[in-house]
Amino acid sequence: MNKILIIEDDITIASIEKDYLEINNFEVDIEIDGAIGYQKAIEGNYNLIILDLMLPTIDGFTICKRLRESIDIPIIMVSALREDIDKIRGLGIGADDFIEKPFSPSVLVAKVKSNIAQYARLTKNISETIVYDKLAINTKTRRVFIEENEIELKNKEYELLLFLVTNYDVVFSKETLYERIWGMDALGDNATVAVHINRLREKIELDPGKPNYIQTVRGAGYRFKK
Categorize the per-residue pLDDT at 187 as very low, low, confident or very high, splitting at 50, 70 and 90. low
Omega cis (within 30) before 208: no
- Classify 152 as helix, strand or coil: coil
pLDDT digits (tens, 9 = 90+) for 129-145: 788 888 988 887 888 99
pLDDT score at 140: 78
Domains of the chain (ranges, CATH numbers): 3-122 (3.40.50.2300), 129-224 (1.10.10.10)
- Whether the predicted model's global pTM rises above the 0.75 cut: no
Nearest Cα to Cα of residue 166 among 214, 216, 130, 117: 130
pLDDT at 126: 44
Percent pLDDT > 70 in the chain is 92
Whole-number pLDDT of residue 71: 84
Average the pLDDT over 182-202 and give the result: 78
What pLDDT sits at residue 8? 96
Residue 151 has φ and ψ, to the nearest 5°, of -110, 125
What contacts 24+ positions apart, CB below 8 Å, involve 62-69? 62/34, 63/7, 63/34, 63/37, 63/38, 64/90, 64/93, 64/94, 64/95, 65/93, 65/94, 66/38, 67/38, 67/41, 67/42, 67/94, 68/93, 68/94, 68/154
- Report the pLDDT value the prediction gives residue 143, as an integer from 0 to 100: 87
Residue 156 has a pLDDT of 87
* pLDDT for residue 122: 66
Residues in the chain: 226
Mean pLDDT in residue range 112-134: 76
> What percentage of the chain exceeds 90 in pLDDT?
46
213 pLDDT above the threshold of 50: yes
Write down the H helix ranges in the chain.
11-23, 34-43, 60-67, 84-92, 105-122, 155-165, 174-182, 191-204
Question: Considering only CA atoms, which of 97, 19, 84 is closest in space to residue 51?
Answer: 97
105 Cβ neighbours under 8 A, 6+ residues apart: 16, 17, 19, 20
Query: When comparing pLDDT for 40 and 130, which is higher?
Result: 40
